[in-house]
C-alpha cells in the first residue's frame, strides 16, 4: 500500500511539470483591465436623519440670517498723495440684537493694536449679512470691562432679524450648545458641543478685568468666532463666544468661553442708550498711551490734553497740555498715574475701572505735575466749593 501511494505522487508531479504556466498579468495590464469598469457608483439609500440632527439643521437655518461678518476698518493716508484709504484691521463675528439694526460683537474686534500695544478703536466697520451684501456700520457703544461693542448697521431692517434671547443662569453642564461664526474667515460655520462648565469660570480681558460667570464649552471656537452667538438647542442666544484656552504654538485646544447672555442683556441696552457705562462726567480728556509715547515719549500714565471749565476736573485745577501754533509744548499737562489708589496702565484699563466701580462723589487721582506726584481730588456732585488750590493736596511721592 505504501509503495503504490508513492508512485501515484510521483506521476502527479511529473504531469504538473509538463503543463504550461498561465501568464502573470503585469501592473499596466491590471490597470487597463480595471479601467473598463469605470462608471458612477450606485448611491446607497439614505438613512433618516435623527431628531437631534434635524433640530441642529433647523436651528442653524433659523439663526443664520441673524449672524453677520464684522470687519473693522481704519483710515490710512498716503503721505505722498494725501489720499485716504481704508484697510481692515480685524475681523470677527456679530449678531443682530434688536429690530433697530443694532449688532453686538466683542470690543477687541474693533481695537487697533500694533506690536501688542493698543492704539485705539475704529469708529467704522463693514458688516456683511448672510446674503453676502456688505453695509457700513458705526461703533455706537463700547465697554472695556465686559469686552462688548455695539454697532449701528445701515442696512435694510427687514434683512436683519434679531436673534432670540435665552437665559444663561439656567444652563447646565452637559447641555447641548451651538456656536456660529466666521473662523479664519470661513463665514457662517457651525460647531456643536456641550456646556463644559459654568461655575467659577471667568474671562480675563486685556484691561485687567475679569468677566464673571463665563460659559465654558467644547464647541469648536477659533480666531474669527469672537463676537458670534452661542445658542442652546432651542436656537436661543445664551452667550457670546469671546475667548479660547490656548497653549503656546497650538492654538485652540477645545476649551472656549462665552460671555453669558444675562450679562449682555444688562450691558447692551445701556451702551445703546448712552454709549458707555460710565455716566458720571469728570470733565477732562486724555491722550492714549500709545499716542503719548509716540508724540511725547511718555512711558506711563495718561496725558491730560483737555480740561473743561466748570466741571469737577476744572474746579479741581487739573491742568491740560498746551501747544502753540507750531505744535510746540507751551505748558506740559498733568499725567494721571493712579486712580483711587490703583495704578493706571492705559486708557482702556482706566475706563474698565470706572465701569466696574462707578465713580463716587469724591475721587482721587495720583498726578504727575512737573517733577512731583501730587493727589488731585475731584468732587463730582458739588459745584463751586473752594478754590482749585484747595482740591490739590500736597506732594506725597517724588516722580520717578
**Residue 263 is placed in which grid cell?**
450679562
- 226 as an active site residue: the answer is yes
Alpha carbons within 13 angstroms on the beta-carbon side of residue 396 total 12
Find the helix or strand (DSSP H, E) in which 135 lies.
strand 134-143
* Cβ atoms 93, 224 nearer than 8 A: yes
- Rounded Cα gap, residues 242 and 364, in angstroms: 33
| Nearest Cα residue to 62 out of 221, 236, 228 | 236
- 147 as an active site residue: the answer is yes
Q: DSSP letter for 65, please.
A: G
- Rounded Cα gap, residues 359 and 41, in angstroms: 72
Active-site position among 121, 226, 232, 334: 226
Task: Compute φ and ψ for 263, nearest 5 degrees.
Answer: -70, -45
- 168 as an active site residue: the answer is no
Active-site position among 66, 108, 121, 334: 108
* Cβ atoms 211, 259 nearer than 8 A: yes
- Rounded Cα gap, residues 61 and 281, in angstroms: 45
Active-site position among 121, 147, 262, 366: 147
What is the residue-wise DSSP string for 263-331?
Answer: HHHHHHHHHHHHSSS------EEEE-HHHHHHHH---SSEEEEEE-TTSHHHHHT----EE-TTS-EEE
**What amino acid positions are annotated as catalytic residues?**
108, 147, 226
Amino acid at each position: 500500500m505504501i509503495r503504490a501511494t508513492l508512485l501515484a505522487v510521483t506521476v502527479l508531479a511529473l504531469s504538473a511539470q509538463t503543463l504550461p504556466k498561465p501568464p502573470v498579468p503585469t501592473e499596466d495590464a491590471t490597470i487597463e483591465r480595471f479601467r473598463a469598469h469605470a462608471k458612477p457608483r450606485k448611491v446607497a439609500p439614505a438613512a433618516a436623519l435623527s431628531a437631534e440632527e434635524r433640530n441642529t439643521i433647523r436651528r442653524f437655518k433659523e439663526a443664520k440670517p441673524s449672524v453677520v461678518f464684522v470687519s473693522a476698518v481704519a483710515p490710512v493716508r498716503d503721505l505722498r498723495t494725501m489720499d485716504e484709504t481704508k484697510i481692515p484691521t480685524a475681523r470677527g463675528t456679530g449678531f443682530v440684537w434688536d429690530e433697530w439694526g443694532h449688532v453686538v460683537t466683542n470690543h477687541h474686534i474693533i481695537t487697533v493694536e500694533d506690536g501688542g500695544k493698543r492704539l485705539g478703536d475704529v469708529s467704522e466697520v463693514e458688516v456683511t449679512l448672510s446674503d453676502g451684501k456688505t453695509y457700513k456700520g458705526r461703533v455706537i457703544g463700547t465697554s472695556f470691562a465686559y469686552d462688548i461693542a455695539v454697532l449701528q448697521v445701515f442696512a435694510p431692517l427687514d434683512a436683519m432679524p434679531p436673534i432670540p434671547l435665552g437665559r444663561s443662569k439656567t444652563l447646565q453642564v452637559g447641555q447641548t450648545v451651538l456656536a456660529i461664526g466666521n473662523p479664519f474667515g470661513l463665514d457662517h460655520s457651525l460647531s456643536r458641543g456641550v456646556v463644559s462648565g459654568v461655575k467659577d469660570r471667568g474671562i480675563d480681558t486685556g484691561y485687567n478685568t475679569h468677566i464673571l460667570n463665563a460659559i465654558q464649552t467644547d464647541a469648536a471656537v477659533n480666531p474669527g468666532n469672537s463676537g458670534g452667538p452661542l445658542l442652546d438647542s432651542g436656537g436661543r442666544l445664551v452667550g457670546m463666544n469671546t475667548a479660547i484656552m490656548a497653549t503656546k504654538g497650538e492654538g485652540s485646544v477645545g476649551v472656549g468661553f462665552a460671555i453669558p447672555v444675562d450679562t449682555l442683556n444688562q450691558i447692551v441696552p445701556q451702551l445703546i442708550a448712552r454709549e458707555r457705562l460710565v455716566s458720571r462726567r469728570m470733565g477732562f480728556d486724555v491722550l492714549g498711551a500709545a499716542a503719548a509715547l509716540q508724540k511725547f515719549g511718555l512711558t506711563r500714565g495718561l496725558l491730560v490734553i483737555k480740561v473743561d471749565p466748570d466741571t469737577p476736573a476744572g474746579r479741581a485745577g487739573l491742568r491740560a497740555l498746551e501747544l502753540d501754533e507750531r505744535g510746540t509744548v507751551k505748558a506740559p499737562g498733568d499725567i494721571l498715574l493712579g486712580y483711587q489708589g490703583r495704578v493706571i496702565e492705559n486708557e482702556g484699563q482706566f475706563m474698565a475701572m470706572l465701569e466696574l466701580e462707578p465713580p463716587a462723589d469724591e475721587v482721587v487721582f495720583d498726578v504727575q505735575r512737573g517733577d512731583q506726584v501730587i493727589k488731585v481730588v475731584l468732587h463730582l456732585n458739588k459745584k463751586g466749593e473752594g478754590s482749585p488750590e484747595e482740591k490739590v493736596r500736597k506732594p506725597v511721592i517724588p516722580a520717578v
